[in-house]
Amino acid sequence: MKIAVLGGDGFVGWPTSLHLSDRGHDVHIVDNLSRRWIDTELGVQSLTPMDSIQERTRIWHQETGRRIHFHLIDLARDYEVLKRWLAEERPDAIVHFAEQRAAPYSMKSDRHKNYTVNNNVSATHNLLNAVVETGLDAHLVHLGTMGVYGYSSVGAAIPEGYLSVGVETLAGETVSQEILYPANPGSIYHMTKCLDQLLFQFYARNDGVRITDLHQGIVWGTHTDQTRRHAQLVNRFDYDGDYGTVLNRFLIQAAIGYPLTVHGTGGQTRAFIHIQDSVRCIELALNNPPRSGERVKIFNQMTETHRVRDLAEMVARIAGAEVAYLPNPRKEAAENDLVVDNEQFMALGLDPITLEAGLLSEVIEVAKKFAYRVDRSRIPAVSAWTRDIAPTVERDP
Ligand code: NAD
Ligand code: USQ
C-alpha cells in the first residue's frame, strides 16, 4: 500500500513509518516539524540524540535500500497544499498522528490552549475535508486516546468506543441505541480528541469515509525492531515535565538518581502499551479496514493498566530509586479503578509485551546511556490545571 504517515517525525510516527516501510509499504511522511519547534520553545531536547528527518530517512535508505519520502506540510494551516498533495499522491491509507499531544502543554496558558484546539481540530477537519474533496477512498487510521473516556470504569469494563443504552419511547417502550461512550476529557488536549470523534462520526456517515479511531493508552519504551538497526534511527524520548509521560519519566529519573515524581498519592490508574505493540496495532488496523458506509471502527489500543504509585514502586525496586509524593498540578481523581476491553486487537492476534522487569531494565539502559544529556531543571512538572493550583515547585534534590 501507499501509506501517508501524518506526524511521522514524532515518537510513535517515526517507528510506525519504519515498521510499515520494512513490511514493503510505500511510506510518505507528512509533518510540519512543530514538535521540534516546541522543544526549542521549552528549552528541552529528546533524551536520545535525534537527527533531522532528512538524515533519518537517508540512513534508512542506506541500511535497507528502501525509501521513505518526507513532505513538509502543516495540516492545520496549509489546507490547499494538503489537498493538492492528496490529489497528486493518492495514498491507499492515511495514518494520522499529527496533533499536539501533551496534556500539560495544552494547559500551560491561554495561548497554549488556543494553539492546541486550533492545531488539532483544524488538522483533523482539514484532512477529512480534503479526503472528500479529492474523492479519495483512503482508509484513515487516527491515533486517539483512552482519555476520551475519563479514567473510571464504574464497575464495568470500558467498551471499545460504543455503549448500548436503553431509551424509553413516548409509547413507553424501551429501545436500545448505540451511542459513543460518553466523553469525559481531563485536559484541553484530551478534549480535542473528543471533538475529533464527532468529526469522524459525521464524515463516516455523511461521506462514507472509512475511518478507524485507535483509543490508545500511555505509550512507554523507546526502541522497536527497526529503530535498533542503526544509532541514527533511534526514536525520540521525552522526559521533561510537559511531554515526558509517566513511566518513561520514572525510568530516566531512576537512571540519574532523581526521586520519582509521583503526583499526589499516585492512586491514578492508567492504561499502557509498549511502543513496539503500538506499531503492531497500527499495522493490524491498516490490514482490517471498515467498509464505506460502516460506522467508525474504534479499538482500545492498550495492553495493561497500572496504578502510578505501583509503577513508581516497581521502578524503585528494580533501579534502587527513591519515590517522592508531590502536590498534583493536575485536576484529576486522586484514586480510580480502570478496566478496559481490548478484545478486538487480541482477536486479531496481538501478543502483548508486558511490563516485565527485563524490558524495564532495557529501557533503563537507554536512560543510563544518554543520562549525560538530561537537564535536571526540566524535570519538574510546572504546568498547573487551574489558577488556584500553584504550579508544583519541585526542588532539584
Ligand atoms: P509527537 O508529538 O511525538 O508527534 C506528533 C507529530 O505530529 C510531530 O512530529 C509534530 O511535528 C506533528 N504535527 C503536529 N501538528 C501538526 C500539523 N498541524 N501538521 C503537520 N504535522 C503536525 O506525538 P506522539 O507521542 O508520537 O503521538 C502521536 C499521536 O498519538 C498523537 O495524536 C497522540 O495524541 C497519540 N497518542 C500518543 C500517546 C503517547 O503516549 N505518546 C498515547 C496515546 C495517543
Ligand atoms: N504523573 C505522575 N508523575 C509524573 C507524570 C505524570 O504522577 O511525573 C501522573 C499524571 O498526574 C497522570 C498520569 O501520571 O495521572 C499519566 O500522565 P502522563 O503524562 O503519563 O499521561 P497523559 O497526560 O494522560 O498523556 C499521555 C500522552 C497523550 C495520550 C495519553 C493516553 O501524552 O498523548 O493521549 O497519555 S491516556 O492517558 O490513556 O489518555
- pLDDT > 60? residue 395: no
Q: Residues lining ligand 2, CB < 6 A? A: 101-103, 145-147, 217-218, 245-246, 249, 261-263, 266, 268, 270-271, 308, 328, 330, 332, 381
Across 176-182, average pLDDT: 95
Pocket lining for ligand 1, CB < 6 angstroms:
7, 9-13, 31-35, 74-76, 97-101, 119, 123, 143, 145, 216, 218-219, 245
325 is catalytic: no
User: For residues 181 and 165, what is the distance between their CA atoms, to the nearest angstrom?
Assistant: 10
User: Considering only 209-218, 241-250, 354-363, which range has the smallest mean pLDDT?
Assistant: 354-363
**Residue 264 φ/ψ region, left for φ over 0, alpha for ψ in the -120 to 50 degree band, beta for the rest:** left
Q: What is the CATH number of the domain that holds 169?
A: 3.40.50.720
Among this protein's residues, is 203 annotated catalytic? Answer: no
In the chain, the percentage of residues whose pLDDT exceeds 90 is: 91
Domain that holds residue 86: 2-238+272-302+336-353
Tell me if residue 331 is catalytic: no
Ligand 2 centroid–CA 78 distance in Å is: 30
Is 288 a domain residue?
yes
Mean pLDDT score of the chain, rounded to an integer?
95
Residue with more model confidence, 50 or 364: 50
Q: Where are the beta strands (DSSP E) in 107-249?
A: 139-145, 162-168, 174-180, 211-216, 218-220
Marked catalytic residue, from 16, 57, 145, 269: 145
* The pLDDT value given to residue 329: 97
> What is the CA 78 to chain-centroid distance, rounded?
23
Residue 396 in this model has a pLDDT that exceeds 60 = no
Domain count, the chain: 1
pLDDT in tens, 322-339: 999 999 999 999 999 999
**What is residue 358's predicted lDDT score, i.e. its pLDDT?**
66
Confidence of residue 362 (pLDDT cuts 50, 70, 90): confident
- 126 and 82 Cβ atoms separated by less than 8 Å: yes
The reply to whether 216 falls in a domain is: yes
SS3 string, 213-256, reads EEEECEEECCCCCCHHHCHHHCCCCCCCCCCCCHHHHHHHHHHH
The whole-number pLDDT of residue 394 equals: 54
Q: Assess if residue 328 is contained within a domain.
A: no
Residue nearest to atom 28 of ligand 1 (CA): 97
Residue 26 domain-assigned? Answer: yes
Model pTM? Answer: 0.97
- Looking at all shown ligands, the one closest to residue 221's CA atom is 1
Tell me if 103 is assigned to some domain: yes
More confident residue, 241 or 388: 241
In angstroms, what is the span from residue 318 Cα to ligand 1's centroid? 30
Checking phi first, is residue 208 left (phi over 0); if not, alpha (psi -120 to 50) or beta?
left
359, pLDDT greater than 80: no
Section 171-183 average pLDDT: 95
Q: Which of 81, 118, 116, 76 has the alpha carbon at shortest distance from 96?
A: 76
| Residue 393 pLDDT > 60 | no
Residue 224 lies in a domain: yes
**What ipTM goes with this model?**
0.99
Confidence label for 392 from pLDDT (cuts 50, 70 and 90): low
